Chain A
């Protein structure tokens, strides 16, 4: 692997890692506040991407408003999903609620394959700023990749500011630390859950609209994207947004570098094996440390 190639692999990993990180954040926020693992998270990404294509191509709306509108529609869908499917079943066990989210995911996928005029074909919304790749430190980078990485960084900073400096953000954090104590001081956990779902849908929608031009989108893309985000979130332990972001980037970069490493028979066919092995190692080390922490307390 030459130095130029290393930079190329690294930037590619960074791009994919950004996507995994932002999808993972959606998992983390909902889990922290409600203890639900939302398996429809990947579908929010798919909806964001598909809606942006629909609004630009079929409805003829200009790029920027179409992107914002796609995210807003995804947010509304996320809120409706919470109000109709999760809140009405709030007395059920967490496992039942998780299964409800799987049902919601299947529902979104089915609807997306039916309502759009192109049916089940793959689509590609237009690139934000053309397709002429840019030479950067010996590597070539697609302009859309800069958009993906840039958007992720901005979203992470905004999310951090929101959670640290706003009242609602602090209430969300409180709810994550202890729902019982939070409700004692007057925080309504149901409102917080609604906000968590809305935020997660927004994160999904945003990642969907920025990635779709580069990664393409079809009605069935959501599941695998959700899975990668889930992996990022589990590396982060579903607790801390920062750890989730690190998890996402780790997964992306390891996946990408694994292609470049030629260990005799280990070709790119093994890249997922290598990525999953790293994940298992991280989880093993983490669970060991968690057990230790529990013993200490």
Chain B
């Protein structure tokens, strides 16, 4: 009796396996396979594995979390639509904790143990710089989500490296152009001593002459500092007309608060695109009112003119994201991940079957480089062999914080 039952079970199993396989081949996943308990999670084809190393904890976790959410959302969307040419998309996400050494370890793990086809991340400039050697010697494409320009420059040494976010080279000229048009010449800089802050500070100094700007004071603070009153007192003594603050959430919010405390009301305050997220405005409260920030168009998705090529992608990504994570949860960091993962997915769609792992990785790299014009959330990209970011000017809006909202001033 027992034996008979076993046979019957095995037979059912084999039959249902055959049936599911047949459906998958004939109808290309148009119909969702009926969930049968015996064959749960038996993929039709081998999954395409993409790695992501993000700052899910640590000082830049406010970047990593929306990136993770975006990656998960996109993988679900792709798989719900039948995968990429029938291959499910699997995104393997690891937490760098904002640490460069850990990032290198995780990249190695993704390359050797998980055998992924491409990598997204890390979220921070320092960590992104640290993993360049590893991905270059292992010959695997990586799309960094960090800001600094040095991640993709010089391009001869960055054969395998791409990135999606605007760099200081796209943002600071926008600020300086604005200052020039407002006849402002005396500017003070305050920046943090991390990779992002240093990059911004250097460029602010380098470009000042071109725009007729005098840097009257140049102050710095450490990541963990809890008061900038001293630095702002120093700046106040030099009587600037505007202050450019180049840092992430916490330091920037304290700078704004301390400027208010010192009653520097007639001094304009500009900040980096690094604070273009909801948490900054919420934590900053009344102190960040009036702060001016250049950032991607995503924050003003509704107001973007209908003839802007980005309009469609901005609204659809924003709507998808906020449908899952709540209204007002959108920020530009998730958008960077959206753009990066889109590149990889586009490359995977073109990839022929049966390539070896090394060939597949090389194919994805070439496909991203040859992609042509890509319209993303961060701007209109034109990636070439000479430019692995591919952003020009005009992809950035100037926003002012008014009543806790980002208001685009035209």
Contact = CB atoms under 8 A, between A and B. Distances in A.
B11 interface: no
Contacts of B58: 220
A12 to B, nearest CB: 4
Given A120-B61, A121-B282, A19 B226 contact: yes
A272 B249 CA distance: 21
Nearest to A124: B283
B193 A269 contact: yes
A72 interface: no
Interface stretch (A2-10, A26-34, A289-297): A2-10
A225 B225 CA distance: 9
Nearest to A271: B230
B229 A124 contact: no
B44 to A, nearest CB: 36
B86 interface: no
B261 A124 contact: no
Interface in B48-74: 57-59, 61-62, 65
B261 A267 contact: no
Interface stretch (B110-118, B160-168, B174-182, B231-239): B231-239
B255 to A, nearest CB: 11
A124 B404 CA distance: 14
A229 B378 CA distance: 42
B65 A120 contact: yes
Given A12-B229, A260-B233, A121 B279 contact: yes
Nearest to B226: A215
Contacts of B226: 16, 19, 211, 214-216, 221, 224-225
Given A118-B279, A220-B59, A124 B230 contact: no
A150 interface: no
Interface string A203-228: 00000000100111010110111000
Contacts of A140: 261-263
Interface in A128-153: 131, 133, 140-142
Contacts of B263: 133, 140
Interface string A235-261: 000000000000000000001110110
A16 B253 CA distance: 17
Contact of A272 (B61, B222, B230): B222
Interface residues of B, number: 39
Given A5-B237, A131-B287, A220-B59, A259 B279 contact: no
A29 B178 CA distance: 55
A169 interface: no
Given A5-B233, A124-B253, A142 B261 contact: yes
Nearest to A6: B233
Contacts of A224: 224, 226
B191 to A, nearest CB: 10
A220 B58 CA distance: 7
B387 to A, nearest CB: 32
B285 A124 contact: yes
* Main secondary structure on A side of the interface with B: helix
B194 to A, nearest CB: 12
A220 to B, nearest CB: 6
Contacts of A2: 237
A271 B287 CA distance: 25
A121 B233 contact: no
Given A121-B283, A216-B254, A267-B218, A259 B227 contact: no
A119 B234 contact: no
Interface in B25-67: 57-59, 61-62, 65
Nearest to B61: A120
B222 A216 contact: no
A75 B219 CA distance: 39
A5 B217 CA distance: 15
A118 to B, nearest CB: 7
Nearest to A260: B234
Contacts of A257: 230
A217 to B, nearest CB: 9
A113 B261 contact: no
A182 interface: no
A131 B288 CA distance: 12
A186 to B, nearest CB: 44
Interface string A263-274: 000011101100
B250 A268 contact: no
A271 B229 CA distance: 13
Contacts of B249: 121-122
Given A124-B285, A131-B286, A214 B227 contact: yes
A215 B218 contact: no
Given A120-B61, A122-B253, A9 B260 contact: no
Contacts of A220: 57-59, 61
A131 B234 contact: no
B220 A133 contact: no
B335 interface: no
A42 to B, nearest CB: 11
A15 interface: yes
B374 interface: no
B222 A133 contact: no
A268 B283 contact: no
Given A131-B286, A133-B262, A259-B233, 11 more contacts: A5-B233, A12-B227, A15-B227, A122-B250, A131-B261, A133-B261, A214-B227, A259-B231, A259-B234, A260-B230, A269-B193
8 contacts: A1-B237, A19-B226, A121-B62, A122-B250, A124-B283, A221-B226, A260-B230, A268-B231
Q: List 4 tightest A-B contacts by C-beta distance, closest first.
A: A224-B224, A121-B279, A215-B226, A259-B230
